[in-house]
Amino acid sequence: MSKYLSKRFDKLTPYIPGEQPKISNLIKLNTNESPFPPSPKAIAEAEIELSRLNLYSDPECTVLLKKLSEILGVKEEQVIATNGSDEILNFAFMAYCDNNTGVVFPDITYGFYKVFAELYNLEYKEIPLKDDLSIDYRDYLNAGKTIFIANPNAPTGIYLGLDKIEEILKSNPDNIVVIDEAYVDFGNESAVKLINKYNNLLVTGTFSKSRSMAGARLGFGVASKEIIKDLQAIRYSTNPYNVNRMTLAAGYGVLCDEEYTKSNLKEVIYNRDYLSDELKKLGFKMTDSTANFIFTKHEKISGELLYNKLRERNILVRYFNKEKISDYLRITIGTKDEMDKLIKNIKEIIREVL
């Protein structure tokens, strides 16, 4: 850091993205990307915009939001488009957290929540997960702070039922509850259906996982018209052209190809169940993940050792050197062929180590 950096950032610990190595023949299962390319319709729509990159993108994201609101079953004024879901989360921290209103989130969850809290010098509280690594909704009742919950949670993949989400919303009527649904499409029910019932609910989503557009950076928020107005004010005060022309077009294109998305989701869910079953046969235990990844540990092999052994074989998974989960690995669900190669290599490692 330079001597010019503001002292308010002295204790800031930046978020560390999943490794993006440039290695050939790599099986990349560490960043929860989709193993499938974007929809052909998304690609075709984006290509049309190539010749128009001399012009700014539509700051109102009109075409995209009209289609997205139709699919979500909400009004256009209840949705905002952002540069990835990280941006909508950032907007929420700016809009609803300050010296008077602190922040609360699980101690094991998406790492950006803590980063944003420290970036804005906010008072925050991390609530420990239960022994089974699930969220106890009762810990968030009457919290009196802005609440951030990833659902399903990351990196555990455990889903919190909407009945529990409702209890949290009802007990915190004077505070915003943000439900981060980056992984909701892989077999869960979205809290979007609750936005007309609870004015304090903000649901965030992304095109990165289920819609194969991680590299395009497209996210969104869904809430009451009043909350969206708040967030739009933040957006227009920071970066009104936050979503580029090609991403807007690709997002519209993939929304016009829901069958493609549903087919990919079905395959990921099948491969997730297949991998889970095979790893259990090899002595692994895991959380009940309903995301596009599993969170697992072996009974006799440390997570760090297994991570390193897999990396030596050009298979990249995610390891978290954090107390309580240091024996676990988060493994993104890939194609069936990638899962078979992973299982084969794990079997070889087990024979080598034990």
Q: Provide the pLDDT for residue 204.
A: 98
Omega into 40 within 30° of 0, i.e. cis? no
Q: Provide the pLDDT for residue 293.
A: 98
Residue 329's pLDDT band (cuts 50, 70, 90)? very high
Q: Provide the pLDDT for residue 231.
A: 98
The tens digit of pLDDT for each residue in 255-306 reads 999 999 999 999 999 999 999 999 999 999 999 999 999 999 999 999 999 9
The tens digit of pLDDT for each residue in 109-137 reads 999 999 999 999 999 999 999 999 999 99
What is the per-residue DSSP string for 77-140?
GGEEEESHHHHHHHHHHHHH-SSSS-EEEESSS-THHHHHHHHTT--EEEEPPPTTS---GGGG
Q: Provide the pLDDT for residue 21.
A: 75
* pTM across the whole model: 0.96
Q: What percent of the chain has pLDDT over 70?
A: 100
Average pLDDT over residues 157-182: 98
Residue 16 has pLDDT above 90, yes or no: no
Q: Which SS3 state, helix, strand or coil, does residue 25 take?
A: coil
Average pLDDT over residues 39-44: 98
Q: Give the whole-angstrom CA distance, residue 185 versus residue 165.
A: 17
Residue 311 has pLDDT above 80, yes or no: yes
If one compares 1 and 49, the residue with the highest pLDDT of the two is 49
Helix and strand tally (H, E) in the chain? 10, 13
Q: Give the whole-angstrom CA distance, residue 126 versus residue 83.
A: 26
Q: Provide the pLDDT for residue 48.
A: 97
Q: Provide the pLDDT for residue 17.
A: 77
Which residues of the chain form beta strands (DSSP E)?
27-28, 79-82, 103-106, 124-127, 146-150, 177-180, 201-206, 219-223, 284-286, 293-298, 315-316, 318-319, 329-332
Q: Provide the pLDDT for residue 2.
A: 85
Q: Provide the pLDDT for residue 163.
A: 98
Residue 183's pLDDT band (cuts 50, 70, 90)? very high
Residue 20 has pLDDT above 80, yes or no: no
The tens digit of pLDDT for each residue in 62-111 reads 999 999 999 999 999 999 999 999 999 999 999 999 999 999 999 999 99
Q: Are 214 and 208 in contact (CB under 8 A)?
A: yes
Q: Provide the pLDDT for residue 238.
A: 96
Q: Which SS3 state, helix, strand or coil, does residue 286 take?
A: strand
* Residues comprising the chain, all counted: 354
Q: Give the whole-angstrom CA distance, residue 334 versus residue 76.
A: 34
- Other C-beta atoms closer than 10 Å to the C-beta of 163 total 8
Mean pLDDT across the chain: 96
Average pLDDT over residues 198-225: 98
Residue 226 has pLDDT above 80, yes or no: yes
Average pLDDT over residues 47-66: 97
> Can you say whether the dihedral through the CA atoms of 64, 70, 76, 81 is positive or negative?
negative
Q: Provide the pLDDT for residue 277.
A: 98
Q: Give the whole-angstrom CA distance, residue 42 versus residue 257.
A: 8
Burial class of residue 8 in the structure, from the number of CB atoms within 10 Å of its CB (0-12 exposed, 13-18 middle, 19+ buried):
exposed
